[in-house]
């Protein structure tokens, strides 16, 4: 049983606000047909310093922007080669100073398909795998997109990713993913259409996946291809958002409770453009199971 848990590590930290996007819900592991992972995660993130263009700024009329979110995560193997991943966050954000209204609502539902393109097993049983993923993210509610305190940008986006995944026989892995996020135009309450910049996204993740522990550290760089700087009267969703972040994740199965585990994570912003200089902690409760009658075999495809 412990063996089984080690087969399904995953990442469960998300935060999608005006100022921050997650490092992505996709990892390099495939679940295997019929195996399903669900997670409820909670995270807290805050910043009092943000970047206007590249310039760090403190705004005493906003104070500290604090964001709490709860996220539902489901990932399951449709086949041995193809996973479906779904995320659904509820976000609440507020400013400690000034008079802007708080915001809270369900944000954007995201659905991804992630599949294996090819896999290579080298003589010592290490594996090298190339995966591709496509995803659609779309707002679930009519939340406010264009305010200093908001939970998202209302843009429906399509993203494509290529994921290279190396796993050694000793459980060490390295995952490198490169994605392009295409963001659709939105229409503001002011009744004009604006462009939400597309972005390139790169994530490098490395760690170890063992019987009773999963640990990783990651680096993420996201760069919008164009866009505006934060400024008076400039629609926020049109901002060029770039950032570099690092973080880590720990996962441990719960003792005495089969199928359950907990994870803990943190993320730190190193620098950015038109984004909050935020740090984040998160925790999650994970439940995983298989729709197959018998426990899955120790699959090579994991």
264 binds another protein (CB under 8 A): no
Contact 153, 181 (CB under 8 A): no
SS3 183: strand
Among 185, 258, 291, 297, binds another protein (CB under 8 A): 185
| Residue 198 binds another protein (CB under 8 A) | yes
Q: For residue 223, state whether it binds another protein (rule: CB under 8 A).
A: no
Q: Which stretch binds another protein (CB under 8 A): 12-20, 27-35, 79-87, 271-279?
A: 79-87
Residues 237, 216 contacting (CB under 8 angstroms): no
125 forms part of the interface with another protein (CB under 8 A): no
Interaction between residue 296 and another protein (CB under 8 A): no
Residues 262, 14: contact at Cβ < 8 Å? no
- Distance of closest approach, residue 81 Cβ to another protein, in angstroms: 5
Both tokens of 195, joined, read: 């462009």
Residue 298 near another protein by CB under 8 A? no
Q: Near another protein by CB under 8 A, which window of 29-37, 177-185, 216-224, 270-278?
A: 177-185
Residues near another protein (CB under 8 A), total: 41
Burial of residue 293 (CB within 10 Å: 0-12, 13-18, 19+) is exposed
Is 204 an interacting residue with respect to another protein (CB under 8 A)? no
Give CA 117 to chain center in angstroms.
Answer: 22
- Interface with another protein by CB under 8 A: which range of 16-24, 28-36, 141-149, 261-269? 141-149
Residues 290 and 76: their CA atoms lie apart, in Å, by 9
Q: How many CB atoms lie within 10 A of CB 1?
A: 9
Instruction: Name the segment binding another protein (CB under 8 A); options: 17-25, 44-52, 74-82, 285-293.
Output: 74-82
Going by C-alpha positions, the residue among 162, 161, 260, 167 that lies closest to residue 207 is: 167
| Shortest Cβ 4–another protein spacing (Å) | 24
Output 5 or 149, the one with its CB closest to another protein.
149
Nearest to 241 by CA among 225, 254, 255, 252: 225
Near another protein by CB under 8 A, which window of 23-31, 41-49, 157-165, 272-280?
157-165
| Distance in Å, CB of 188 to another protein, minimum | 7
CA distances to 145, 154, 281, 284 from 42, rounded to whole Å, are 22, 22, 9, 6
Residue 52 binds to another protein (criterion: CB under 8 A): no
Classify strands 199-209 and 172-183 as parallel, antiparallel or unpaired: antiparallel
Burial 34-68 (b: 16+ CB within 10 A, else e): bbbbbbebebebbbbebbeeeeeeebeebeebbbb
**Which one among 42, 52, 81, 259 touches another protein, defined by CB under 8 A?**
81
Site string (82-121) toward another protein, x via CB under 8 A: x--------------xxxxxx----------x-xxxx---
Give me the residues that bind another protein (CB under 8 A), please.
Answer: 60-61, 79, 81-82, 97-102, 113, 115-118, 132, 134, 142, 144, 146-147, 158-160, 180, 182, 184-185, 188-191, 193-195, 198, 231-234
């Amino acid at each position: 049983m412990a063996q089984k848990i080690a087969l399904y590590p995953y990442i469960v930290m998300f935060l999608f606000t005006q100022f921050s996007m997650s490092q992505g819900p996709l990892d390099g592991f495939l679940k295997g047909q019929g195996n399903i992972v669900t997670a409820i995660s909670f995270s807290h993130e805050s910043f009092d310093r943000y970047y206007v263009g590249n310039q760090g700024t403190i705004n005493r009329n906003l104070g500290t922007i604090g964001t709490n979110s709860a996220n539902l995560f489901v990932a399951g193997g449709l086949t041995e080669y193809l996973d479906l991943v779904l995320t659904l966050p509820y976000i609440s954000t507020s400013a400690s100073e000034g008079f802007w209204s708080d915001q809270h609502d369900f944000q954007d539902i995201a659905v991804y398909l992630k599949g294996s393109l090819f896999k290579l097993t080298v003589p010592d049983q290490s594996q090298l795998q190339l995966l591709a993923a496509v995803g659609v993210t779309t707002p679930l509610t009519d939340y406010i997109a264009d305010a200093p305190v908001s939970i998202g940008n209302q843009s429906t986006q399509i993203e494509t990713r290529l994921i290279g995944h190396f796993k050694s026989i000793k459980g060490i892995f390295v995952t490198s993913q490169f994605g392009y996020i295409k963001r659709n135009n939105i229409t503001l309450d002011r009744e004009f259409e604006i462009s939400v910049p597309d972005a390139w996204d790169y994530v490098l993740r490395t760690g170890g996946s063992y019987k009773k522990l999963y640990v990783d550290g990651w680096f993420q760089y996201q760069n919008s291809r164009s866009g505006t700087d934060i400024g008076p009267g400039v629609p926020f969703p049109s901002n060029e958002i770039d950032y570099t972040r690092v973080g880590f994740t720990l996962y441990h199965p719960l003792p005495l409770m089969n199928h359950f585990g907990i994870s803990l994570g943190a993320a730190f912003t190193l620098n950015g453009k038109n984004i909050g200089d935020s740090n984040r902690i998160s925790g999650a409760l994970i439940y995983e199971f298989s729709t197959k009658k018998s426990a899955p075999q120790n699959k090579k495809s994991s």
